[in-house]
Amino acid sequence: MSATSYKADLRDIKFVLFEQMKAHEQLADVPRYKDFDRDMYEAVLDMARDLSENVLSPVNKVGDREGVKLDGEGNITTPDCFKGAYKALAESGLIGASLAQEHGGQGLPHVVDIATHEMTSGAAMAFNMYPGLTRAAANLLTWPDAPAWIQALAVPKMLGGEWGGTMCLTEAGAGTSVGDNRAAAVPTADDGVYHLTGEKVFISGADQDLVSNILHMVLARTPGAPPGTKGLSMFIVPKFHFDAAGTLGARNDAKVVGIEHKMGINGSATCTLALGATGTCVGYLYGGEHQGMEIMFRMMNEARIGVGIQALGLASAAYQNALAYAKDRVQGSAVEHFRETDPPRVTINKHPDVRRNLMLMKCQVDAMRSLIYSVANRFDKTEHGDESEKEYLLGLVELMTPIVKAYCSDVSFSVCSTAVQVFGGYGYIGEYPVEQHLRDSKIMAIYEGTNGIQAMDMLGRKMRKGQGMLFMSWLDEANMELERARAIGELAEEVAGLERARDQLGQTAMHLGMVGAQGNLRGAMLQATPFLELFGTVVLGLHSLWQARVAHEALRDGATGDDGKFYRGKIANARFYMKNVIPRATAIAKAIQMGDESCLEDGLFD
């Protein structure tokens, strides 16, 4: 591995998809995926690996160093090398891999799509923001209530790499509190056509030169709309006007007036977008007035899972880099030779402390991959068409979303930090990619709803939904996996450790439910972030156990050589996780139940 390269963990990606989840077998019965088979999925994955390692990875550092430039007309220039990379990505069909073929997509299962995104994000996260948001905007436009003429025209162009897309919620006074949005939209004599004014901030890709037109998905308030999120409507605001044939006209007055200088993702333009500041900004209403938040949530839910995929991609890239470096870097001697005058020098992967770091990274990355792919797999299973099954599956996706977005992004940041540590001083300098991974990874805890807000959403909404119904469904599935693992005698200790943590999680959930029911909402919400950490730690433990069970079965079936080593690695993951990480979950549970509220004392931070 060179100093700047990305290495996809295709062995593990294929293990999760085809050995652990058996996605190809499960999806063979789903009408939408009947024309695909394992060979086709593998071909897509191999192609995504080649593209990520050979085309996208080389633009990552350049994008970070060059950043983007804004001229006086609101035009942004991205690094030169981004253009060829964007063209190659569009030609590969990966922008719309899982969107239906009728919209210009490939119609692939979400779980395969997500695996490709793991690789493209891991190779070049900032670059991948442009196609990522474009895809999410295009997907939003495929819903039946989107304006039909825009849908038919724009979606294939977006998926084909001709047009881009953005999501525009944030304003200077309305970050977390989206309901404080002030951008205004006034109806015109033309049905569904509005004139917008206002200013959006922090908009990713609000201008760029990789595409010929951009469609902004904008939240704004119509005259007389009720306050808060209930009064928001969704508008499609083009950069250039276009007619029904797709011919571009004059520039719309939606222009970038500033860009942010950031600690990471420097190749991704983060923009202030002025609407109607010097002329007329035309927007097309999507859905009805005041339905904006409900519509935007479709995009946000997808984007939150997208952040989890970014988290996995970066964490895997950081781990692979740290592993390659540790195998190569010679420093010091083995601890048992410390007293000798000239002991043989060893590579740092021989030092126990470095091995502990590598192991922690490995078991967390592998478990995150399992979790995130399993969430995508549930989406695919909803295509079976049974409504009650669909509701059940979507409920579990809903419950896991804060863990995928928030817990995994926190874990990813910590994995990237550990990778820097494994490199020592060389991790802190620009020669190797891990310092960029660490800087790039911080944003994941902030955008798409900060992790603190995700934690409150988990505790305040998802845990309470249907009187705890989602949590109970998850618990049933967790218990089934524990039973399956118990059947493998060698996993008895791991099962017992995880069961203790599961019980603590349940008790803590009940405890916090009581705190809230007694009217102490501040006391309950104070524990939202630790609770999410507790829940996330147990969830990843369960995925680690699932993988160890599958590995045991493969070894029992006679796997040897590199395969045998791979499966033994999975078993070691689970053992390490249950003995070193799961005890932290138990400690968090105890701390939450102690109910300390000292930081809420009057006057402390006022």
Ligand X SMILES: Cc1cc2nc3c(=O)[nH]c(=O)nc-3n(C[C@H](O)[C@H](O)[C@H](O)COP(=O)(O)OP(=O)(O)OC[C@H]3O[C@@H](n4cnc5c(N)ncnc54)[C@H](O)[C@@H]3O)c2cc1C
For ligand X, the binding residues (CB under 6 A) are 167-170, 175-176, 202-204, 262, 265, 270, 443, 446-447, 450, 452-453
Considering the candidates 448, 483, 553, 597, report the single residue annotated as catalytic.
Answer: 448
Between 163 and 432, whose beta carbon lies closer to ligand X?
A: 163
Contact 368, 411 (CB under 8 A): yes
Question: CB of residue 457 vs ligand X: minimum separation in angstroms?
Answer: 11
Q: Count of alpha carbons within 13 Å of 576, Cβ hemisphere only?
A: 18
Question: What is the rounded distance in angstroms from the CA atom of residue 213 to the CA atom of residue 217?
Answer: 13
| Residue nearest ligand X (C-beta atom) | 175
Between 99 and 456, whose beta carbon lies closer to ligand X?
A: 456
Q: How far does Cα 520 stand from its chain's mean position?
A: 33
Closest CA to 169 of 127, 241, 112, 229: 229
Question: What is the rounded distance in angstroms from the CA atom of residue 290 to the CA atom of residue 218?
Answer: 13
Task: Kindly state the tokens that stand for 318.
Answer: 């950081």
Q: Looking at the DSSP assignment, which residues form a beta bridge with residue 200?
A: 273
Between 9 and 533, whose beta carbon lies closer to ligand X?
A: 533
Q: Count of alpha carbons within 13 Å of 191, Cβ hemisphere only?
A: 3
Between 204 and 320, whose beta carbon lies closer to ligand X?
A: 204
Q: Which run of H or E residues covers position 196?
A: strand 193-204
Contact 195, 186 (CB under 8 A): yes
Question: CB of residue 204 vs ligand X: minimum separation in angstroms?
Answer: 3
Closest CA to 83 of 109, 56, 114: 56
Question: What is the rounded distance in angstroms from the CA atom of residue 485 to the CA atom of residue 476?
Answer: 14
Question: What is the rounded distance in angstroms from the CA atom of residue 248 to the CA atom of residue 331?
Answer: 60
Question: What is the rounded distance in angstroms from the CA atom of residue 392 to the CA atom of residue 405?
Answer: 20
The residue behind tokens 């972030």 is 529
Between 270 and 377, whose beta carbon lies closer to ligand X?
A: 270
Task: Kindly state the tokens that stand for 77.
Answer: 């220039």
Between 203 and 574, whose beta carbon lies closer to ligand X?
A: 203
- Dihedral (Cα; 488, 491, 494, 496), 10-degree rounding: 60
Is 42 an active-site residue? no
Contact 105, 99 (CB under 8 A): yes
Neighbours of 560 (CB within 10 A): 9
DSSP annotation string for 518-531: TT-HHHHHTTHHHH
DSSP annotation string for 333-381: E-GGGTTSSSPPEEEGGGSHHHHHHHHHHHHHHHHHHHHHHHHHHHHHH
- What would the 3-class secondary structure string for 12-30 be? HHHHHHHHHCCHHHHHCCC
Enzyme catalytic residues: 448
